[in-house]
Amino acid sequence: MTHLSLEERAARGRAARAEVPADAQADAVPTPDRADPVAVLEQQGSSRVPDLLPLRHARMAVSAFTFYRGAARLMALDLAGRPTSGLGVQACGDAHLSNFGMYASPERRLVFDLNDFDETHRGPWEWDLKRLVTSFVVAARDNGSTPKQQRRAALTVGLAYQEAMASFAGMRTLDVWYTRIEVEELLERLRSTVKAGRMKKVDKNIAKARSRDSLKAFGKLAEVVDGRMRFRADPPLLVPVEDLLPDGAVHDLTAQLTGLVGGYRRTLSADRRLLLDRFRPEALARKVVGVGSVGTRCWVMLLSGRDEDDPLFLQIKEAQASVLADLVPEEFRDAHLDHQEGERVVTGQRITQATSDIFLGWDRLTGIDGQERDFYVRQLRDMKGSALVEEMEPAALEVYARLCGGALARAHARSGDPVAIAAYLGEPGDEAVAEAMVAFGESYADQNARDHAAMVAAIADGRLPAAEGV
């Protein structure tokens, strides 16, 4: 690895900006050969569970924002081929505002960070920032904000990213790596800037996150019947494996997934393998999660420790190819990680997050249909919580924009070169890149609205199946 001096790193960032100036980042005009958005959804559906596709389409069709959440591939296609700064990071790949939230560190402290890595891949830093800025424009529009309020939230994201990146550029290397956003410290800062009424909502949301543990999950998702732990059926969202498949297939699938847990443990450190071995598999179910992920194969396994009051829930989620994988410039590709998609997700998460789930790992499974698929494993619930975007007033959305912009910069500073990126962004007071991101976000939000309308029309015409009432 070549080690450059601070001045050489900064010069690299300035050279990148000379090559791709700030105003070039504002371009969101669709190319003449732009993909049909409905065709993109149909193509994605070809690798997913067919009977769950109507649910995915229904969830995406609810609003322009829910469509945006599920349309990461479409946006990646639109970003591909445009000039980039050439400054790489471990990109989230789907950095919209609902993919940030709270979760518990191994020390049982709540932290705020990116929390979805299905699409993570090495790529240009600006792709993540553009997706995040645009998500604030789309969400603000759905919430009824004025154009001025929409713009203020979007600009706050870009400026917070720039400010945080400048701070990371001045830090020692280990200090950048150790930095994390702890919720308790965040609350102290918020109390001096957020009105008491809004803080009550924040406190309530944090209290809810703290209560989301395995015992709480057991009360909602599982029960004990005739001395045996099992999942409660709530189709199509939660379906016990015994209700999903014939008896013989149930046995085969259960054996396969139990074997996956045995295989995935090899990707854990020795102390965590020891901990996992103290739990016994009890029950298995298929679970629907999210919006964009609906239709990928996702299982939840219930395990018990000392007794039924000591449950552990593991989520076993299919990892398909990142939406960025075939679109990023060649220098951002990694043949090894693109070959094992579960490892790609886990590696990207470990690089990007300040601290990660102690049970995070991966494996490959040959299913009962004979096809090999990659999976990653993590705890289903561990004090996880996210912002209620639909309930955010403009002032709250602006506060959240600052938080997400800073968190994205922290993630990028760990895997990229904060000195070079900060030099590209410019000195304090230089808002050209942030302004360009806003221009991009506003233009792309218009395109997203048109794409959402096209999807709704495709559902009405019967081209896309959509579920009702779920």
The answer on 72 and 52 residing in a single domain is yes
Least confident residue range of 77-81, 132-136, 183-187, 323-327: 183-187
The answer on 287 and 158 residing in a single domain is no
Quick one: tokens of 182?
């702890």
Is residue 469 in some structural domain?
A: no
Residues 164, 418: contact at Cβ < 8 Å? no
Measured torsion, CA atoms of residues 101, 435, 87, 356, in degrees rounded to the nearest 10: -10
Residues 317, 298: contact at Cβ < 8 Å? yes
Is residue 80 in some structural domain?
A: yes
The answer on 410 and 325 residing in a single domain is no
User: Which is more confidently placed, 370 or 230?
Assistant: 230
Mean pLDDT of all residues in 211-215: 73
The answer on 244 and 195 residing in a single domain is no
Domain boundaries, position 134 = 6-210+391-460
User: Which is more confidently placed, 194 or 327?
Assistant: 327
d(CA 173, CA 277): 36
Is residue 384 in some structural domain?
A: no
pTM listed for this prediction = 0.93
d(CA 221, CA 241): 14
C-alpha closest to that of 12 among 425, 421, 409, 427: 421
**In terms of C-beta density within 10 A (0-12 exposed, 13-18 middle, 19 or more buried), how is residue 412 classed?**
buried
The answer on 411 and 397 residing in a single domain is yes
The confidence band for 338, taking pLDDT boundaries of 50, 70 and 90, is: low
Quick one: tokens of 210?
């703290």
The answer on 324 and 263 residing in a single domain is yes
Mean pLDDT of all residues in 297-326: 93
The answer on 315 and 241 residing in a single domain is yes
Least confident residue range of 202-206, 227-231, 347-351: 202-206
The answer on 274 and 237 residing in a single domain is yes
Mean pLDDT of all residues in 455-469: 93
Residues 229, 311: contact at Cβ < 8 Å? yes
Could you give the number of structural domains in the chain?
A: 2
- Where a domain ends, among 379, 399, 418? 379
The answer on 192 and 65 residing in a single domain is yes
Is residue 109 in some structural domain?
A: yes
- What value does the CA radius of gyration of the chain take, rounded to a whole number of Å? 22
C-alpha count within 13 angstroms, C-beta hemisphere, residue 426: 15
Q: Indicate if the pLDDT at residue 87 is higher than 80.
A: yes
The answer on 360 and 224 residing in a single domain is yes
Residues 325, 308: contact at Cβ < 8 Å? no
